[in-house]
Structure 1
Amino acid sequence: MPETAIWWVRHDLRLHDNPTLAAASEADHLLAVYCFDPAAYGNQPYGGSDDFTFQKTGSHRAQFHREAVDDLRASLRERGSDLLVRHGDPATEIAAVVDAVDADRLHAQRLPAPEEVATEGAVREAVGDDVAVETHWTHTLYHPDDLPSPPAEIQDTYTPFRKAVEADSDVRPTVETPSLPPLPESAPEAGSIPTLADLDSSLSPPEPDDHAGLGFEGGETAGKARLQHYLWEADRLREYKETRNGLRGADFSSKLSAWLAAGCLSPRHIAAEVGRYETERVANDSTYWLVFELLWRDFFQFQVAKYGGQYFAKGGLQERDGLDWRDPDDEPAANTAFDQWCAGETGIPFVDAAMRELNATGYQSNRARQNAASFLANDLGIDWRRGAAYFETQLVDYDPCSNYGNWAYIAGVGNDSRDRAFNILWQADRYDPDAAYVTHWLPELAGLPARYAHAPWTMSDAEQSEYGVELGSDYPEPTVRLEIPDDVFDE
């Protein structure tokens, strides 16, 4: 009998190098379905001990996902297929589509984070035993079956993991985009893509920001265009290692993370393009380093597969219980400090610039993220999960494994329990020596010399009057008065 397959689209919003789509396309009829899950929007509980509530998805990522779904639907329609879009509990919605077309098989991406695992389990239960469910691991550079040891046994620090993988594992070849079988004759209405307000009544379309280095447009089409631009048109890969710690502009780094997180780009496709670049243009430390960063991303994915919910707990995978985190819900001063951090009003310009960039654009460079995270966790002593959850809300490129893995690492509860506190002022002097980044996002400090733009609290009253920047009026007093190291801000 003819077989009908459902492709449940998750964080794999692409046609290229998609093993899930390739397997589903072996059926006689194929129907793709994407479900906007209400649990991913609005105010939701963090879960676990010391629970708190936060806004799950902000406008930047919500808009990016809407665009990515629209782009995938257009690509499928160009090939004579379609994408059904639903807004509701995935278990209910997917099961309804399965019943409507009398599907024989359901293909879906397999993901490691606890919420993702729970959603898959609920869908499996809802579709019942009469439907064969096949899941496919499609979002990392290396497949877990090809690692030197299974995820449950991998090293807990990156360097030994990387060395073992590079020595003993190979990246699988990319999968060609398949020819698509026809839709089932009984395919339901395609449905409309929900508006931002449908997803969360508090959301509105993000305003374009002239300060942004790059606008992030969702979808496979835009993701491939960004990769083409960075590697081949701008030819910036050859200097990636030297420029990746930049803070301003479009091309100091690849900025592929948003498309990777949504699955609009395959990491294997990126690695294949890097290989082609090395053959046709140049192979050096920078070309290697981009693949090195993809492997870092893999590491966090496999660590979450190993540790599950423990990765998101206050004590982290280290299960450290001796750290006295301040809780904004219990301490008014901590609540005020957290709100100031979120708003970019801490009085520490390097941190404030990073947070204002995040709020305005949904993006920060890796260097800015590390400093903003370190300040909250290590200087303010606020529960690191609050900061990680705020990043979850705001980031256009949010990925649970990378986001919480990096935050836990900075907070000393992740894959390395050593002190990872950043000296914010040393970092500011090292990576923003002329204060161009700070004054870009904090124009009220634009008239100050770099030393004072990074540490305005060191100005005397006379200097504040001279430069027209009064602390507490034009710019906040510092939440914490950081000590200035002897070797920074030399004139």
Structure 2
Amino acid sequence: MRDGDTQLVWFKRDLRIEDNTVLTQAAEKGPVLPLYIVEPEYWLGPDTSARQWNFIRDCLIELRTTFDQLGVPLIVRCGNAIEILSQILQSNKFRNLWSHEETGNTWTFNRDKNVAGWCKIRGIEWTELPQNGVIRGPSNRDKWAAERKKFASRKQCSLPNLNKNVSKLPLGSIPKSKDLKIEYDDCVFRQKGGRSEGLKTLESFIFKRGLNYRVDMSSPISAQKSCSRISPHLAYGSLSIREVSQATQKQKNTILEGKVEGSSSWGRSLSSFNSRLYWHCHFMQKLEDEVELEWKNLHSAYDGIRGDNKHYFQSWSKGETGWPFVDACMRMLRATGWINFRMRAMLASIASYHLWMDWRKPGEQLARLFTDYEPGIHWSQIQMQSGTTGINLPRVYNPVKQGKEQDPAGFFVRHWLPELAVVPDEYIHEPWDWGDATQFLKDTYPRPIVDHLKVARIAREKVWAIRGSDSHKEIALKIQDKHGSRKKRFKKSNYERLSNNKKKLKQPAKEVQLALFDKNGI
């Protein structure tokens, strides 16, 4: 093998060989050397956790085995990306670096800029290719949906014809979380990573579990089974979003031909799921277009309106707010690394409205708890649920009402809050209204941290006061033009009608169901 022939393929959030555009195109140019870089500095970030790394580690172990069977080594190195690339360059005079485009957090964005500079100085061509519907560079939202549709329907990449690589580089070990000094993470029910797990999960969803997806996805009880549960596999690329979309559409076509029992329910559920795959890319596009979304209010009118509260934050993050359903959701998330989208939205909303905390620290906490943390989706949704986008109506959940609707008998609450096992059904969502609460709950479960009806009303009034200004409307229209969905056109007249509806300020705790909510219930 001559110097410069090696095609160095840098794996990031694309931990598979199937439908891997980068791997396929690189293999057409020459011998491929696959590389994964474990970056300790990244894993010290405030939005990372052991549950995320452990899932990735599962994926890497299986990916290395797959490459071994093809006679190609998967090199794993731990350290700074530029230092690792420099070391490999000393032994393998590569001139081509390949990777998929990554819509990551601020840290990975800055790292990629540094790598680009390193490549330019050394005359190395770095080819980055898309692996989803996100468009890099100036994007036109009016045409985005059509482009995304083209990507999703395009033929999947064939398995690459990999020449056996004669690299003498040592493989390198795949470190455990403790080796990276990642804080211990008691996620006892974490999903297992790896492509084989992803395929099994996808197949069980589109052929068995997904029948009632459209109806069941709102409840944390039924969603555990009826949601697809492939979100971490999409986040780290053990499955490609294109193969998932096409597999779903293929099964839907089979259903439409009348070959599947329960075709009506199946058809609606798979259509609903496919639309969420669309929204998956839609929200990622927002962060791609505006990297500041991770740390800066999308609409400047909300700058400085909220602050931090250590006591509120600790109570909320531990599942000790005194609202049983909210606490049960948080404890489930802590133990499993997953909860359905509606409950994710509720947890974020409670932090922003009822506890009136700035969204950044709660956003980081939720990011750490999500095994399937996808920065583009996560930060778009956090701002959306906190009301700082300026283009989405405030979503203020009633924590007691949600519990009564989603878990009327209290099974879910009692499972995750065993200290409430003795509370009668009629008081399970407001246990301190029970006459014997003082005797049984005094030292085991806290009283509500605040009066939820009172603080919700105050928060609603504050937000609507801001939304009513002319300057707010002007900025919001610009935000909509840049980031808003074109599936339902946003009109100035509609915005003014909603913003000037004074009745909104008088409604107690009404929850407005919006088209964009529950769109990421993957």
Does the TM-score normalized on the shorter chain lie above 0.5? yes
Structure 2 residue 300 is matched with structure 1 residue 319? yes
- Aligned residue number for residue 48 of structure 2: 57
Deviation at 1:256, TM superposition (A): 0.8
Decide which of 233, 237, 244 is 1:270's aligned counterpart.
Answer: 244
Q: Percent identity?
A: 25
Name 2:39's counterpart in structure 1: 37
How far apart are the structure 1 equivalents of 2:509 and 2:410? Answer: 18
Partner of 1:89: 80
1:221 Cα deviation from its structure 2 partner: 1.6
| Residue from 136, 140, 146 that aligns with 1:153 | 140
Aligned to 1:302: 285
Q: Secondary structure at the match of 2:440?
A: coil
**Partner amino acid for 1:479?**
I
The residue number in structure 1 matching 2:156 is 174
Name the amino acid aligned to 1:239: N
- Counterpart check, 1:389 vs 2:382: no
Shift of 1:402: 0.9
Shift of 1:91: 1.5
Q: Deviations over 1:443-477 (max 9, x none)?
A: 11123234421112222xx3326xx6324x12111
Are positions 1:116 and 2:108 aligned together?
yes
**Contact 2:213-2:269 within 8 A present in 1 as well:** yes
Deviations 1:218-269 (A, max 9, x none): 111211111122223xx12332111111313642200110111011111110
2:440 pairs, out of 449, 462, 469, with: 469
Alpha-carbon offset, residue 421 of structure 1? 1.6
SS of residue matched to 1:299: helix
User: What is the SS of the residue equivalent to 1:381?
Assistant: coil
| Structure 1 unpaired stretches of 5+ | 45-53, 210-214, 328-333
* 1:260 equivalenced with 2:234 (yes/no): yes
The Cα offsets for residues 47-93 of structure 1, whole Å up to 9 and x where unpaired, read as: xxxxxxx3x42221121111111111111111111211111111211
Where 1:476 maps in the other structure, the secondary structure is: coil
- How far apart in 1 are the matches of 2:151 and 2:425? 48
The answer on 1:248 being equivalent to 2:221 is yes
Q: Give the secondary-structure state (helix, strand or coil) at the position aligned to 2:28.
A: coil
What one-letter code is carried by the residue in structure 2 that aligns with 1:136? L
Letter in 1 for 2:440: V
TM-superposed CA distance for 1:35, in Å, is 0.7
Partners of 1:10 and 1:108 within 8 A in 2: yes
**Secondary structure in 2 aligned to 1:35?**
strand
Residue type at the aligned position of 1:178: P
Q: How does 1:472-491 map to 2 (within 5 A)?
A: 473-483=443-453
Question: Residues 487 and 17 from structure 1, CA distance in 2 versus in 1: closer, same or farther, beyond 3 angstroms?
Answer: closer
The equivalent residue for 1:208 is 188
**Cα distance in 2 for residues equivalent to 1:481 and 1:356:** 22
Matching residue's letter, 2:164: P
3-state SS in 2 of match to 1:197: coil
> Per the alignment, in what secondary structure is the counterpart of residue 285 of structure 2?
helix
Offset of 1:23 from its aligned partner?
Answer: 1.1
Q: Which amino acid aligns with 1:277?
A: Q
Change (3 A) 1:201 1:12: closer
- C-alpha separation between the residues in 1 aligned to 2:114 and 2:340? 36
Distance 1:385 1:41 in 2: 18
- Between the two proteins, the alignment pairs up a number of residues equal to 444
CA distance in 2, matches of 1:105, 1:261: 26
CA distance 1:10–1:437, change in 2 (3 Å):
same
Distance apart, 1:424 and its partner CA: 1.9
Q: 1:486 to 1:257 in 2, by over 3 A?
A: closer
Q: Please tell me whether the aligned partners of residues 245 and 274 of structure 2 are also in contact (alpha carbons under 8 angstroms).
A: yes
Q: What one-letter code is carried by the residue in structure 1 that aligns with 2:225?
A: D
The alpha-carbon deviation at position 278 of structure 1 amounts to 1.3
1:320 is displaced (CA, Å) by 2.8
Which residue number corresponds to residue 62 of structure 2?
71
Q: Residue type of the partner of 1:154?
A: R
Q: Which residue of 2 aligns with 1:134?
A: 127
Q: Please point out which of 411, 429, 435 is paired with 2:410.
A: 435
Aligned counterparts, 1:333-482, within 5 A? 334-414=309-389, 416-459=391-434, 462-464=435-437, 469-471=440-442, 473-482=443-452
Distance 1:178 1:194 in 2: 28
Q: Deviation of residue 129 (structure 1)?
A: 3.4
CA deviation string 1:116-144 (max 9, x = no partner): 33222222223443221100111x2x363
Cα distance in 2 for residues equivalent to 1:364 and 1:71: 26
Please name the residue that 2:89 is paired with: 98
Tell me by how many angstroms 1:280 deviates.
2.5
TM-aligned CA distance change 1:60 to 1:19, over 3 Å: same
Distance 1:11 1:166, change over 3 A: closer
Q: Which has the higher helix share?
A: 2
**Alpha-carbon distance between aligned partners in 1 of 2:216 and 2:305, rounded to the nearest angstrom:** 37
Counterpart of 2:305 in structure 1: which amino acid?
A: D
Q: Contact 1:439/1:445 (CA < 8 Å) preserved in 2? A: yes
2:82 alignment partner, SS class: helix
Shift of 1:323: 4.9
Secondary structure of 1:405 counterpart: helix
Q: CA deviation at 1:20?
A: 0.9
Aligned partners of 2:509, 2:171: CA distance in 1, in Å?
Answer: 64
The answer to whether 1:284 aligns with 2:256 is no
Q: How far apart are the structure 2 equivalents of 1:109 and 1:99? A: 24
- Amino acid corresponding to residue 441 of structure 1 in structure 2: W
Rounded to whole Å, the distance in 2 between the matches of 1:424 and 1:201 is 33
Conserved in 2, the CA contact under 8 Å of 1:110 and 1:135?
yes
Are 1:21 and 2:10 an aligned pair? no
Residues 166 and 104 of structure 1: is their aligned pair in 2 closer, same or farther, counting only changes over 3 Å? closer
CA RMSD of aligned residues (A): 2.5
Indicate conservation of the 8 Å contact 1:12/1:263, yes or no: yes
Distance 1:430 1:35, change over 3 A: same
CA distance in 2, matches of 1:335, 1:305: 32
Q: Which residue identity does 1:198 align to in structure 2?
A: D
Is the CA contact 1:143–1:171 (under 8 Å) kept in the aligned structure 2? no
Aligned residue identity for 2:226: F
1:201 deviates by 5.1
